[in-house]
Structure 1
Amino acid sequence: MYFKHLAVALVATSMVAIPAERVEADAGDFIAGAIIGGIVGANAKKQRATTRSTKRRTTTKKRSTLPSTQEGKNIQSSLNYFGFDAGSVDGQLGRKTRDAVSQYQAYLGYPVTGKLSTFEQNLLISSYNRAQAGGYAVQQQVAANPDGTRGLLKAYRAEMAGQSAPTTAGNTTIVVAPQAPAAAAPAAPASALAGASTLAAAVAPAVPALPNFMGAGSQASLASHCNTVSLVTNTNGGFVTLAGMSDPDVALNEQFCLARTYAIAKSEELVGKIQGFTPDQVAAQCTAFGPAMKDHVAALSLKPRDAVTADVAAFIPTTGMAPAQLVGTARICLGVGYRTDNMDVAVGSALLLYTLGEGVYGELMGHHLAQGFGPAKRNDLALAWYEAGVTAVDSGAAAVFVPGQPERTELIRQAAARMNGAPVPAQPLVQPASGNALPTFSISE
């Protein structure tokens, strides 16, 4: 399981010393034990010991003079998977590996230099990881593509660019529209359509699938939604206040997008404290949250709050991660999920934080259920999550989002109640639970 591999990397890795302040501890607790494209690697001490041991060995092979790195192994493994022969996976980027890189570049139409640019390397290794984690669906995709595994590279690259990704079934090329286009996708190149009959739209399945009205939320772009909200806010002359609130949905949307902005900013701040990893490499690690938390995110629109929380609480021990490490990773990946419009990553991270005792993050699940980004829209279920978030602040928890807005908690409380047609509460909707509450795990300081 992909998530369990993260736990293995966590045990093997000690990235940075955990400073005294909690915000810095979050960065130190991030699971960054792998270069982009692989949940592998070892701690610096072990690497130094291996280097010393290697130096003591005597060998007549000239290639031993080349440095062997984990990054090199990731590159070689990825090249070999996609059919570009890099030879043995030894981490030493010699002539054979450079030849394989040249083939890879030529296949994708990049300048043939034998040396990977940052983008080319990220595309190569992240595509390899995605293919490895894709299971049977990837096998079917490979089988249907005349280029085999290499065809995945072009498909994944097209998705990254927000373009239509051509797939092939028999002699028919099917142009599959992207899930959440920000604008009309460019037409497929003529070369991709030569010799094949083309369908202008996605082909309907031969046997209609059963309808699913629950558990599958909107795939629209939250970033685009928040841009629209911002435009409305500016047009109206500023944010909705408690005294001037006439439409609770507008107020909640504004606070949703503010929370998203704060989560992204905090994530970027923490990423900056992680030594030796670029933001793109950190983002690649965070993609592991999506597959691991997808079912729990979908369950938000199917089950009440306590049932979802119980399921996540039962899941957490199976990760093999210490609570502090899981919290640190979730804080960073929350912002990454919002920045990349990956709702499984964003909502999954918020769910983990809430279940690990960070009650203020309950607000985010309320927003997602109220607006239908990630889980399906369920105003009735959203209310309990809003209640949990505002109750946490009422109980003394630090405000994570927009701490400088003094009336924010009351604004959310009253807007959530009015959204559901309930009378405006005069006090917190939910009193602190007594007994049988989920444990609150301490975080390393």
Structure 2
Amino acid sequence: MHFKVLTGAILTASLAMTPADRAEADAGDFIAGAIIGGVVGHSIKNQRRTTTRSRTVTRKKSTRSSIPSTQEGRNIQASLNYFGFNAGAVDGQLGRQTRNAVSQYQAYLGYPVTGQLSAFENNLLISSYNRAQAGGYAVQQQVASTPDGTRGLLKTYRSEMAGHSPAAAAPTTTIVVAPQAVPQTTTPTFAATAAAAAPLAGAATSAAASTTGLPNFLGAGTQASLASHCNTVSLITNTNGGFTTLASMSDPNVALNEQFCLARTYAIARSEELVGQIQGFTPDQIATQCAGFGPAMKDKVASLSLKPRDAVVADVSSFVLSTGMSPAQLQGTAKICLGVGYRTDNMDVAVGSALLLYAIGEGVYGELMGHHLSQGFGPAKRVDMAASWYEAGLAAADSGAAAVFVPGQPERTELIRQASLRSSGLPAAGTLPQAQPASSTGLPTFSISE
């Protein structure tokens, strides 16, 4: 009798521990490094009271273990679903339903129906999705005027990539750049966060600069569109037969552009993941909040092409200290707004978010500042000053920091190192700041359900 009681207690304890371990593993993807997530998967309870033998058999036959979940898979599924090809849940597992959706996509565009995406088909799908997400109202008009709805965008974008563009629609994504709108100080805040509406320091700096009496004939021009640039890069990559490798690299600038646009895609995807975990606010409302990053970080972004890396980091560190936000809050907010900035083609938001992430200790994001300086999106083009930022990002990766862009390609680090050195040398070292709460600013914060 005592043996039965003891055995029952052991079995009960083992059954109670198993789901918690699995829930922690499932939640790890969202929790690591972000303020979003909480206890994801906490609702996965022990629903079946079976013997330990039957639970073991069920686990061995699980189809999830045979189909790995990848970020690339999630990007493909999200893109297919957007264009009306039902790939099911966006879980990163490319199973039968995803293959059926791929077949429908191929049939619609007149490609051989294989259920497997070729490099060109994959690039067209992902780049079209990112472009559609960044297009805003112009895309809505395009969809409304096409009998095929969102699917029609695929044929339109494919024609434009082939050189049959009826009109340059991409510049419409730059409507978010509104330098004269800075003085408005009634920045909306989230209910769960005590964020005071105060004048932004960047606005005062901008106003002072405009009274210097110096003429400015180019400041009112629209910035180049990174989304449009990455579409062109994607077309060149497909024409060349795939991404540049370390062995095949002949033009370092081509390699850097490819990796820049890949990083942009991953940042957008990660941002959308985190946005999906925020309750009580729509993606549009979050995008509006992130727009507040632009005026607040504008002068810091501009200083990238004027000051050494250490001086820029010192300025951003001082700004971090003035926000009154914890490093965890800033980290999650900046990761969300980084993707929003790229999706909306707002370089002040995107680069400003990357600077904040670097300043609070996420050294791998130094790569992004290198890309922006080497190509001239956001800050002015300064290939010479890009080198130290590349070096800082690569040093973080070399020291064991987790890869945030294309994590499945460890050779990517060496490719960027060689390409950046061949463009122009000058490696440098990096510094890390610490954050302390102080006064509030115009930065958004996001309340995440625990």
TM-score relative to the length of structure 2: 0.51
Q: Equivalent of 2:328, from 321, 324, 330?
A: 324
Q: Equivalent of 1:285, from 286, 289, 306?
A: 289
Deviation by residue 1:130-164 (Cα, 9 ceiling, x = unmatched): xxxxxxxxxxxxxxxxxxxxxxxxxxxxx97469x
2:84 aligns with none
1:359 aligns with 363
Q: Equivalent of 1:226, from 227, 230, 234?
A: 230
Offset at residue 355 of structure 1 (A): 0.4
Counterpart of 1:247 in structure 2: which amino acid? D
Q: Equivalent of 1:210, from 207, 215, 218?
A: 215
**Is 1:23 paired with 2:18?**
no
Distance 1:392 1:360 in 2: 5
Distance 1:258 1:223 in 2: 12
Distance 2:359 2:311 in 1: 11
Counterpart of 2:31 in structure 1: which amino acid? E
Offset at residue 218 of structure 1 (A): 7.2
1:181 aligns with 171
1:369 aligns with 373
1:390 aligns with 394
Could you say what secondary structure the match of 1:273 adopts?
Answer: coil
Counterpart of 1:382 in structure 2: which amino acid? A
2:421 aligns with 417
Offset at residue 285 of structure 1 (A): 1.1
Q: Equivalent of 1:274, from 249, 272, 278?
A: 278
Could you say what secondary structure the match of 1:302 adopts?
Answer: coil
Q: Equivalent of 1:336, from 336, 340, 343?
A: 340
2:300 aligns with 296
> Structure 1's 417 and 340: CA in aligned 2 closer, same or farther, altered over 3 A?
same
Structure 2, gaps ≥5 residues long: 1-25, 38-134, 140-167, 176-212, 437-447
Q: Is residue 293–residue 352 contact of structure 2 (8 Å, CA) maintained in 1?
A: yes
Distance 2:386 2:299 in 1: 18
> Structure 1's 22 and 212: CA in aligned 2 closer, same or farther, altered over 3 A?
farther
> Structure 1's 306 and 430: CA in aligned 2 closer, same or farther, altered over 3 A?
closer
Offset at residue 276 of structure 1 (A): 1.7
Once the two structures are superposed, the pairs formed by residues 116-127 of structure 1 within 5 Å of their partners are none
Q: How many residues align?
A: 251
Distance 1:333 1:314 in 2: 20
Structure 1, gaps ≥5 residues long: 1-18, 31-158, 164-177, 186-207, 424-428
Offset at residue 283 of structure 1 (A): 0.8
Deviation by residue 1:57-76 (Cα, 9 ceiling, x = unmatched): xxxxxxxxxxxxxxxxxxxx
Once the two structures are superposed, the pairs formed by residues 13-92 of structure 1 within 5 Å of their partners are 21=28, 23-24=30-31, 28=35
Distance 1:317 1:440 in 2: 5
Counterpart of 1:417 in structure 2: which amino acid? L
Distance 1:389 1:212 in 2: 35
**Is 1:246 paired with 2:241?**
no
Q: Is residue 304–residue 373 contact of structure 2 (8 Å, CA) maintained in 1?
A: yes
Could you say what secondary structure the match of 2:171 adopts?
Answer: coil
Distance 2:333 2:378 in 1: 20
Q: Equivalent of 2:411, from 407, 412, 432?
A: 407
Counterpart of 1:320 in structure 2: which amino acid? G
2:433 aligns with 438
Distance 2:359 2:384 in 1: 20
Distance 1:349 1:246 in 2: 32
Offset at residue 216 of structure 1 (A): 10
Counterpart of 1:438 in structure 2: which amino acid? P
* Identity value in percent: 70
> Structure 1's 271 and 26: CA in aligned 2 closer, same or farther, altered over 3 A?
farther
Distance 2:300 2:368 in 1: 14
Distance 1:29 1:212 in 2: 44
Q: Is residue 309–residue 388 contact of structure 2 (8 Å, CA) maintained in 1?
A: yes
TM-score relative to the length of structure 1: 0.51
> Structure 1's 320 and 27: CA in aligned 2 closer, same or farther, altered over 3 A?
same
Q: Is residue 221–residue 341 contact of structure 1 (8 Å, CA) maintained in 2?
A: yes
> In angstroms, what is the RMSD of aligned CA positions?
3.5
Q: Is residue 266–residue 405 contact of structure 2 (8 Å, CA) maintained in 1?
A: yes
Distance 2:348 2:220 in 1: 11
2:91 aligns with none
Distance 2:221 2:341 in 1: 16
Offset at residue 440 of structure 1 (A): 8.2
Offset at residue 438 of structure 1 (A): 2.8
Counterpart of 2:404 in structure 1: which amino acid? V
2:12 aligns with none
> Structure 1's 371 and 209: CA in aligned 2 closer, same or farther, altered over 3 A?
same
Q: Is residue 290–residue 348 contact of structure 1 (8 Å, CA) maintained in 2?
A: yes
Q: Is residue 262–residue 405 contact of structure 2 (8 Å, CA) maintained in 1?
A: yes
**Is 1:349 paired with 2:353?**
yes
Distance 1:359 1:218 in 2: 31
The answer to which structure has the higher helix fraction is 2
Distance 2:380 2:221 in 1: 4
